[in-house]
Chains A and B, each alone.
Chain A
Amino acid sequence: MLVHSRTGKWATWAVFFLLFVPLFAVPLLVIVAASFTTNWSGAFPSGPTSEHYKAATSGDSLQALTTSLITAVSASLLALTVGSWAALAAASLRRRGRRFLDGLFMLPVAVPSVVVGLAVLVAFSKPPMLLNGTRWIVILAHTILVTAFAYQSVSAAIVRLDPMYEQAAASLGARPSYVLWRIRLPLLLPALTAAAGLCFALSMGELSATMMLYPPDWTPLPVQIFAATDRGSLFTGAAVAVVLMGTTLLVLLGVARIRTRASYR
């Protein structure tokens, strides 16, 4: 929507701030404020301190941060591989097959993640597929949850990819596998990195399925935050939440940088 008049512009900005600030900015600012606070009984926090960050970046919390990072990186790489593979396979199918795959990969999005967590728990609790009690069950559940997003963003990019590049490559004598590695995947790189970033962010914040599955030695950060607030350490929880938020943002910024370098034209 194009707004030309000066008052119109001001009005648009005013509406934007009225909606954006209370909905998005204030809750995040409150968490940041709480993480530096010893006491918050009135309207404003008091007793500024950085003590909570000492707790949030050492011991169990530090352990939880590494756990979360390892889980999110593994899950998003796995999801990216599986999701892109499936999306590339779907692109070469006829319409009916493609619809079926689209539906199949929609499932983990449509089904509540608690249900996915429970399903994974039930399915992998007995030999020969005994993963319960190991870190692998958490990584597996996260992979299942985020693969859908990888599949969707990569297949959307494949649809937009002009087939003339593949055809030019084929006419130059390139086998289909050579075309895939040298032409299609490089051209899909922006979409792949975007998908990786999305999967990473989703996995970093996943709580509901993780709650049903995590073994004592593999506690991701969201579980740590939940536990902290549950036992009443609201400000420590806030500090851990800020660490989670900051780490995720940092990684996403890094991914975005790769993406700008990978996008052409």
Chain B
Amino acid sequence: MTGGATQGSGIRFDRVSVAYGGNIVLDRLDLTVEPGEVMALLGPSGSGKTTALRAVAGFVRPVSGRVRLGDRDVTDLPPHKRGIGMVVQQYALFPHLRVRDNVAFGLKARKVAKAEIPERVAEALELVGMAAYATRYPRELSGGQQQRVAIARALAIRPGVLLLDEPLSALDAQLRSGMLAELARLHRELPDVSILYVTHDQVEALTLADRIAVMDKARLQDCGTPQELYRRPRTEFTASFVGNANLLPVTVTGATGAVDFAGHALAVPTGEVAGGVTATLCVRPHLVGLGDGPNALTGTLAEVQWRGSTHRLYVDIHGHRIKADLRELRETPALGDKVTVHFAAEDAVLLPAGAGFGGGVHG
């Protein structure tokens, strides 16, 4: 698609803060979404991720900082002059207009030549596989179909930037994975469109995003590619929110590659962390094994959950509960049994205490 006013523009947050009545909901966000990049804003509710998206759309006004689309500073522009496409959780299809008129709405509002409109509507509906439903009303469509139409409506104006606000959270699990694949395909077909994707679901973020910005308590906590964040989280929050890691308080014992966890010596890569420093050891549940091995720890089995293909064991070790995801066990140990778990040194990541994300990561 070509011809959009903001084609391939990218988004840039420049120390953007938003406050509602003295309550800071977005605190000095610095973030750049490159042209054609999919950036997921991942965080729990109230983390400021939706506020950041609404600041780009123009529905909240930052108290300080600038929002740029490409080389345009749009901070002071009303929403209708920004040239962005937006899709929200509840679809927001206009109930009194047929599908094709919903999709044509943006084109008519922007005074696109009349002769051109039917063609572009058909093109957008084709893109999301909804061409056969052009004359239906939104109420006659299922949730997934409505979401496709909402995406077609946003794309029909050929925006350089597409904002997706929890677009899949109103769909059931099966539809969601289908739509996720669909969104990935759409992005491949429209490689110039920057996508800002707000979600609280780590699977959606990991699957779809080129980079993930992790948000919590109104601030950007971490930003990186999905692999970086998953394998080498930089903060405790990222480690636990993305992939639900085990976090153990440890002390670096001086010797390289050794830490102390409640009197147990563990061998892990300590990198440049100095001896005597307290730190947090991060181990993914699926990398914890049952039985003896390197870095073995023994504790009491507190809970077992059967999850079909896996068993999750919760083991209490010195007052810390360790989660272990294991391939379905033939025989599960009984609750209260002594069990031993272990993990390989290279599967652990050491986070220095108070490790924070410095921000300022651009591109």
Contacts and interface: CB of A to CB of B under 8 A. Distances in A.
B302 interface: no
Given A171-B79, A171-B84, A173-B83, A164 B109 contact: no
A176 B157 CA distance: 18
Given A164-B90, A187-B96, A264-B95, A171 B109 contact: no
B338 interface: no
B306 interface: no
Given A173-B157, A174-B80, A168 B109 contact: no
Given A178-B109, A264-B139, A171 B86 contact: yes
B110 interface: yes
A134 interface: no
A107 to B, nearest CB: 32
B28 interface: no
Residue of A167, A172, A187 with most partner-chain B CB within 10 A: A172
Contact of A169 (B57, B109, B163): B109
A175 B80 contact: yes
A182 interface: yes
A186 B96 CA distance: 7
B137 A168 contact: no
B95 A173 contact: no
A171 B82 contact: yes
Nearest to B56: A171
Contacts of A170: 58, 78-80
B290 interface: no
Interface in A141-174: 162, 164-165, 167-174
Interface in A165-200: 165, 167-176, 178, 182-183, 186-187, 189
B85 interface: yes
B105 interface: yes
Contacts of B96: 186-187, 189, 264
Nearest to A164: B92
Contact of A171 (B85, B90, B94, B139): B85
Interface string B57-79: 11100000000000000000011
Nearest to B88: A164
A168 B95 contact: no
A165 B79 contact: no
Nearest to B82: A171
A265 interface: yes
A174 B105 contact: yes
A175 B77 CA distance: 12
A173 B86 CA distance: 11
Nearest to A168: B92
A165 B95 CA distance: 9
A182 B108 CA distance: 11
Nearest to B89: A164
Contact of A167 (B57, B85, B105, B154): B57
Given A164-B92, A165-B92, A182 B82 contact: no
Nearest to B153: A172
Interface in B76-124: 78-86, 88, 90, 92, 94-96, 105-106, 109-110
Main SS at interface, chain A: helix
Contact of B95 (A167, A174, A178, A187): A187
Contacts of A172: 80, 85, 105-106, 109-110, 153-154, 157
B45 to A, nearest CB: 17
Contacts of B109: 169, 172-175, 178, 182
A158 to B, nearest CB: 16
A96 B137 CA distance: 39
B139 A167 contact: no
Given A264-B137, A265-B139, A174 B106 contact: yes
Contact of B57 (A165, A171, A265): A171
Nearest to B84: A171
Contacts of B153: 168, 172
Contacts of A167: 57, 59, 79, 86, 88, 92
Nearest to B54: A167
A167 B82 CA distance: 13
B331 to A, nearest CB: 52
A170 B137 CA distance: 21
B143 to A, nearest CB: 14
A165 B94 contact: yes
B351 to A, nearest CB: 39
A173 B158 CA distance: 12
A8 B92 CA distance: 44
Contacts of B86: 167-168, 171
Interface of B: 57-59, 78-86, 88, 90, 92, 94-96, 105-106, 109-110, 137, 139, 153-154, 157, 163
Given A171-B82, A171-B85, A172-B105, 11 more contacts: A162-B92, A167-B59, A170-B58, A170-B80, A171-B80, A172-B110, A172-B153, A173-B106, A173-B109, A174-B109, A175-B80
Interface of A: 162, 164-165, 167-176, 178, 182-183, 186-187, 189, 264-265
29 contacts: A162-B90, A162-B92, A164-B88, A164-B92, A165-B94, A167-B79, A168-B88, A169-B94, A170-B58, A171-B57, A171-B85, A171-B86, A171-B154, A171-B163, A172-B80, A172-B105, A172-B157, A173-B80, A173-B109, A173-B110, A174-B105, A174-B106, A175-B80, A175-B109, A176-B80, A187-B96, A189-B96, A264-B137, A265-B95
Q: Which 4 A/B pairs are nearest by Cβ-Cβ distance? A: A172-B106, A174-B109, A170-B79, A168-B92
